[in-house]
Amino acid sequence: MSKKRRTNIKEYIYVDNVEINSILAQFEDGIPQVIKSIRQSTNTNTEQAGKNHQTNISGGAQLIAKGQAEQSWGKQHAEIQSNAEMNQEAIDTVYSDYAIDIIEQELESHNLLESDTKHSDGVFVKFTSQFSLLDLQSMRNTWTTNEIKPLVQMTDDYDESWDAAAESLKNSSIVLDNMFPETIFFKFPEAVAFAEKNNFRMSLIQLQMLTFSKRKVTILGKIESSVPNDESIDDIFGTENRLEESDDNIDLTALGQWGPALGVKMLKIFLGIKKGNRFIKPIAIYFE
């Protein structure tokens, strides 16, 4: 009987293990399936290591044999420990990847997973789409480098107005990177995902290569909120004027919205997000 050949292998580029464990723990049948898979892998590794523990001493001086046995045991013990660490690392990776499949199955079976972003806050979504990337740290590193200005001036179509534009990009990149530290944005036609840098399985250089990719990416995540309209943002910025004009007590928590409102304004410029676009917290991002 011929074995069926897989036509595709998933390439996971982003996995939020904390969120995965939290969701998985809330499904009664999800945890046992994953733990069973881990135990099977662990038992197999233990049995394999147990065979390596056997030491056969025969012939020769007993003292020499004992020394050789101790040396052999020490070497085998180090190899076993090393293999155990590698196996554990492999198990952790399999756990994360397998858990994503379990989560998708559980969410679908409970009718909690939608296939597009046209839903309210708190809804789980999974969709496949074209994308663009914005890496704020790389953007900041580029435009704050002293050597960038001479390079720009070397281009054939250089104009002095470029200097002002470069300075504006420099200042904007600094502000954005400070407002959204350790964040890489995935921009979709009707949504933007805020991805934490430490959850990626790719280096910054490898991520930059995705800028030129023609593939579509699949994202599993949760809708956290929507892009507000300009009037709502302007109303937040008008809080200061209301404070000066009124003697009544005003809820000062509105002042805390200035930062996010400014962030949205800047993201509208750099990412082209529009009113109603969804902000998504990603759980997993991968290519199929």
pLDDT digits (tens, 9 = 90+) for 188-218: 999 999 999 999 999 888 888 888 888 999 9
For the chain (length 288 residues), average pLDDT per consecutive 10? 70 92 76 56 51 48 53 59 57 69 90 94 96 90 82 77 81 88 93 95 88 91 88 60 53 67 82 90 95
Q: What is the bridge-based pairing of β-strands 11-15 and 278-287?
A: antiparallel
140-175: burial string, b at 16+ Cβ within 10 Å, e else: beebeeeeeeeeeeeeeeeeeeeeeeeeebbebbee
Using CA atoms, how far apart are residues 237 and 262, in angstroms rounded to an integer?
Answer: 9
Contact between 279 and 224 under an 8 Å Cβ cutoff? The reply is yes
Contact between 267 and 104 under an 8 Å Cβ cutoff? The reply is no
- DSSP annotation of 250: -
In terms of C-beta density within 10 A (0-12 exposed, 13-18 middle, 19 or more buried), how is residue 231 classed? exposed
Q: What is the pLDDT of residue 204?
A: 84
Q: What is the maximum alpha-carbon separation in the chain?
A: 100
Which residues, including other chains, have CB under 8 Å from residue 31's CB and lie 6 or more apart?
A: 24, 25
Helical segments of 180-220, H only: 204-209
Contact between 236 and 254 under an 8 Å Cβ cutoff? The reply is yes
Q: What is the pLDDT of residue 29?
A: 56
Q: What is the pLDDT of residue 53?
A: 47
Residue found by looking up tokens 């902000």 in the block = 279
- DSSP annotation of 257: G
Token code pair at residue 287: 């290519």
Contact between 12 and 286 under an 8 Å Cβ cutoff? The reply is yes
Using CA atoms, how far apart are residues 229 and 275, in angstroms rounded to an integer?
Answer: 5
Which residues, including other chains, have CB under 8 Å from residue 163's CB and lie 6 or more apart?
A: 149, 152
Q: What is the pLDDT of residue 255?
A: 63
pTM of the model: 0.71
Using CA atoms, how far apart are residues 182 and 185, in angstroms rounded to an integer?
Answer: 10
**Contacts of the segment 210-215: beta carbons below 8 A, 24+ positions apart:** 210/13, 210/133, 211/132, 211/133, 215/287
Contact between 95 and 83 under an 8 Å Cβ cutoff? The reply is no
38, 58, 59, 66, 75 from 62: Cα distances, Å: 42, 9, 8, 6, 20
- DSSP annotation of 199: G
Using CA atoms, how far apart are residues 126 and 117, in angstroms rounded to an integer?
Answer: 9
Residue-wise pLDDT tens digits, 57-85: 444 455 545 555 555 556 565 565 656 55
Q: What is the pLDDT of residue 280?
A: 96
